[in-house]
Amino acid sequence: MSENRSDAPLREDIRQLGGLLGSTIHEQAGETVYETIEEVRGLAKDARAGDGAAAEALEKRLGELPDEMIVPVVRAFSQFLNLANIAEQHHRVRRSRAWVRDPDTGPLRGSLEEFFKRMLPDTEPDDLYNTIAHLDIELVLTAHPTEVMRRSMLQKYNHIAGLLDEGDRVDPTPEEIEEVHQALKREITAAWETDEIRRRRPAPQDEARWGMAVIEQTLWDVVPHYLRRLDRMLQRQTGKSLPLNAAPIHFGSWMGGDRDGNPRVTSAVTREVCLLNRWKAVELYEREVGELVEELSLQCASDELRDWVGDAWEPYRTALKAVRDRLLATRHWIEARLAGRRPAEGLIYWRADELREPLMVCYRSLHESGAAVVAEGRLKDLLRRLSVFGLTLMRVDIRQESTRHTEVLDALTQALGIGSYEAWSEEERQRFLIREIDSRRPLIPRDFEPSDEVAEVLETLRVIAEMGADSLGAYVISMASKPSDILAVKLLQKEVGVVSPLRVVPLFETLTDLQGAQTCLEQLLAIPWYRQHIDGFQEVMIGYSDSAKDASHLTAAWALYQTQEQLVATAREQGIRLILFHGRGGSIGRGGGPTHAAILSQPPGSVDGRLRVTEQGEVIQAKFGLRGIAERNLELYTTAVAEATLAPPQPPEANWRALMDQLAETSCEVYRTLVRETPEFIDYFRHATPEHEISHLAIGSRPARRKPTVGVESLRAIPWIFAWTQTRLLLPAWLGIGEALRVALENGHEAELQRMYQHWPFFRAFVDMIEMVLAKSDPAVAAWYDNRLVPEALRPLGAGLRDRHAETRQTVLTVSGHDNPLDEAPVVQRSVGVRNPYVDPLNLIQVELLDRVRHGHEEDLREALMICINGIAAGMRNTG
- Residues noted as catalytic: 144, 549
CB 611 within 8 A of CB 621: no
Pairing of strands 537-543, 577-583: parallel
CB 721 within 8 A of CB 880: yes
CB 705 within 8 A of CB 263: no
How many helices and strands (H and E) does the chain possess? 41, 8
Compute the residue count for the chain.
880
Beta bridge partners of 537: 577
State the Cα–Cα distance between residues 167 and 190, nearest whole angstrom: 20
Contact residues for 473 (Cβ-Cβ < 8 A; gap 6+): 140, 252, 253, 395, 396, 397, 502
330: number of Cβ within 10 Å = 26
Residue type at position 192: W
CA distances in angstroms from 146 to 216, 455, 471, listed in the order given: 21, 31, 26
Q: Which string of DSSP letters, residue by residue, matches 767-796?
A: HHHHHHHHHH--HHHHHHHHHHHS-GGGHH
State the Cα–Cα distance between residues 502 and 254, nearest whole angstrom: 14
281: three-class secondary structure by DSSP: helix
Contact residues for 598 (Cβ-Cβ < 8 A; gap 6+): 584, 640, 765
Contact residues for 753 (Cβ-Cβ < 8 A; gap 6+): 659, 741, 744, 745, 814, 815
Burial of 329 (0-12, 13-18, 19+ CB in 10 A): middle
Beta bridge partners of 142: 616
Contact residues for 485 (Cβ-Cβ < 8 A; gap 6+): 402, 405, 477, 506
According to DSSP H, which parts of 705-789 are helical? 717-726, 731-734, 737-746, 750-759, 761-776, 779-789
CB 823 within 8 A of CB 765: no
Alpha-carbon torsion angle 109, 111, 117, 122, nearest 10: 80
**How far from the centroid of its chain's Cα atoms is residue 615's Cα?**
2
785: number of Cβ within 10 Å = 24
CB 863 within 8 A of CB 71: yes
In degrees and rounded to multiples of 5, residue 542 shows phi and psi of: -120, 135
748: three-class secondary structure by DSSP: coil
CB 520 within 8 A of CB 482: yes
Alpha-carbon torsion angle 491, 496, 497, 499, nearest 10: -60
CB 514 within 8 A of CB 559: yes
Burial of 174 (0-12, 13-18, 19+ CB in 10 A): exposed
CB 135 within 8 A of CB 248: yes
State the Cα–Cα distance between residues 863 and 866, nearest whole angstrom: 5
State the Cα–Cα distance between residues 592 and 566, nearest whole angstrom: 22
What interhelical angle do 761-776 and 750-759 show, nearest 10? 100
